[in-house]
Each structure stands twice: as structure tokens, then as C-alpha cells.
Amino acid sequence: MLRLFNTFPRQIANPTRKNVYNLKEMLDKINSYNGISEHIWVSLYNIYTVMVENERGGKDSLLISKDIQLKHGWFDMDGERAIESVKNLHAWCMANHYKHIFFFSGGGFHIYILFKNYEKLNEPKIALNNFHKHVMKTLNFSCGDPHEGSFDIDVAGVGDVARVVTFPGTYNFKRKRYCIGVNEEDLEKGIEWIREKAKQQHLGEYYWYGKNLYDIKQHDTNEKMEIQLLEVSPEIKEKIKTDELLKDLPLCVGNILMRRPKVGYLHRWKPIVYFRDYGIPEEAAVEILKKYMTPSEYRHCVLEEKMIKKLYKRIGMRVDISYPNCESIRLQGLCPFKYDCVKARMLYK
């Protein structure tokens, strides 16, 4: 398992990112935080942060990716179809004999596919992006639609060389589960079996499958691969355009709010982040979600998880969470257009 994290320097986060420069230092810090910090993440690849002086005489952090070693590709699968998605990705890897390993993160699943010819990539970020999208296209990526496709992933990780992930063996306080290795037998027994198993740490139980390394060099080009965009129905487009509450919002934000039968856990945080970053008061955000969410979803999101309060305070969800860029929004089938709209450009000015 440590072969996934044996190039340095890299980072750990809990949630503040810290540089580590060798295996002993990384493991010592992880062991000191495990069971104490709410969550422990480790960078997927060998990245580090340096402090640089700004024009005001202060210090700003700068993320450096120098001689990055893309030893593997990583997929994150959550939600109702997570276990089916990991089964389908595992079956594809087995059919091609690709060396891979998968973990239960405490909530969903992580799968790593090992690469070869990663040492001298000209465009590592593009190569990783193209690898992800090749697999997404091959496996009929469904953007979370429960009626289509065979493979759901969190597209926020597509091409992200600075991603941090849950470190195997660490404890997830929110889920009250450990991140553990799982195998084919676990998958067949189902999610409840795996959730029960993850109440214990299971150190050393990791299961490798396949023997061939995936050639990442084939995706090392100057152009990003695109996949077919999902269409938003004309009815939804019309509702977004005519609703008085939504008319001044970017259409992707309105589209998320209008999704039926519900907004869905994968997307409900996005409008909240938009409201927060563009000056909509917290109280108004509560009223907007009350109108567009189902009663049960509103109760879970706003009253139980207190997602609005957490996101308005920038705590408890992710590291440096912000509204996704246009490419990510389109990949998830949330954009009514196939091009950047004027309001989208305003999001990132």
C-alpha cells in the first residue's frame, strides 16, 4: 500500500496542508493525528508548498509541482451507486489485467490504477485529465444520473494533480469508520457488510489485482480530451429562465436548484458556496433552499448537517472549497450550454 505514497516531498492535511519530506516523517505525523484530528488526507502525488513574499511584505503560500511522479490514477466513488461503480471499474481493470487496488474511505470508495512511463511526462496534468476522461468515456460515465450509464465518480478529481485523499488506516470521525482495504468478496457481500467491517482498522489487509501497468504516456499530449456533454432538458431550461428567483443567477446554479426529484448530496453544496461567495446573506440562502429542496432534503442539509452554517464559515466540508469551474460543471451535466456563458465568466473574474 505504501507504494502509493512513497515519493517525496508531498503533503498531509488535517485540514491545513503541511509538507513532509520522507516516509518516516509522513507516517509519524499521520500516527500522531490519527484518532485525534477529524480527518487526515495525504497528497496523491509528490507536491509541496513554499512561502513567497508578496507585494505587501507578507507571505503567501504557493503550491509547487516539480518533477511530479504520476505513479497512479485515482478515482473517487460516492453515493447510492458507489459500490456498483467500483465493481464496474474493477471489472474493466481485470479484463485488461491492469494492476489496481481499492479502499472503502468511510463513506465511498477509492480505486488506484498503477501507471508506467510516468517519469518524463511533458504535460502531466493534461495526461492525467486525458486518462480520467478516457476511462469515463470507455465505461459510459453517467454524471450521477441513476437511470443512465454504469459508472459514477466525483469529477472534482479529474486531472487534479494537487488532490489530497484519505490515507488508508485512518479514522473518519464523521462516518465513524476507518479507511480500509476491500476485496472482491467484500464487494459481493454489499455496502452494509463493508460499513460494518470498517468499524475496525484492519491494518495490513490490502488487496492488489492485475499485473499490467497502465501506460500513461499515451495520454501525454498538448490537448485536453473532451467527452460528450450531457444535455439539460428544454423543460428545465425554461423553468430556470422564467422563475423570478433564478433569473439573475448563473444558469448552472439555477439548474442545480431545479433538479428533480431532489438536488442530491453530490450537488447541494454548490449553490450554497455560490450564494456565500457572491454576497447573498445566509438567511436568504436558507429561504432559497427551503423553496427548492424537498422537505426531507432541506431538513437533512440545513437543519441536521448545518451545511449552510459550515460553508458560510468555511469549516467542516473540504479544503479551500469554492464553486466548481465551467469544465467541471459541464462534465456533471449541470450546464444548459455547451460553451461558457456571460454569467459564468462573472463567476471567475
Contact between residue 214 and residue 116 where contact means Cβ atoms under 8 Å apart: yes
Cα(115)–Cα(212) distance, integer angstroms:
9
Compute how many other C-beta atoms are within 10 angstroms of the C-beta atom of residue 313: 12
Cα 219 off chain centre by: 21
pTM above 0.75, yes or no: no
Task: Please tell me the predicted confidence (pLDDT) of residue 347.
Answer: 57
Residue 317: its pLDDT value, please?
Answer: 47
Owner of C-alpha cell 474493466: 92
Query: What does the pLDDT read at residue 153?
Result: 80
Position 238 scores a pLDDT of 67
Q: Domains, the chain, ranges and CATH?
A: 1-227 (3.90.920), 234-347 (no CATH)
**pLDDT score recorded for residue 345:** 58
Give the three-state DSSP class for 41: strand
CA distance 331 to 136: 10
Q: How much is the pLDDT for 349?
A: 46
Tell me the residue ranges of DSSP E strands in 78-130.
Answer: 100-104, 109-116
Q: What is the mean pLDDT, run by run of 10 residues, along the chain of 349 residues?
A: 92 89 95 85 92 71 82 90 91 96 94 95 93 89 52 79 93 91 96 96 94 97 74 62 73 78 72 83 82 80 82 60 77 70 58
Q: Which residues contact 187 (CB under 8 A, 6 or more apart)?
A: 83, 86, 87, 90, 194
Q: Tell me, what DSSP letter sits at residue 4?
A: G
Question: Residue 46: what pLDDT?
Answer: 94
What is residue 142's three-state secondary structure?
coil
Take residue 92 and report the three cell numbers written for it: 474493466
What amino acid is encoded at 288 in this protein?
I
What is the model's pLDDT at position 144?
44
The grid cell for 94 is 481485470
**What is the structure's pLDDT at 305?**
79
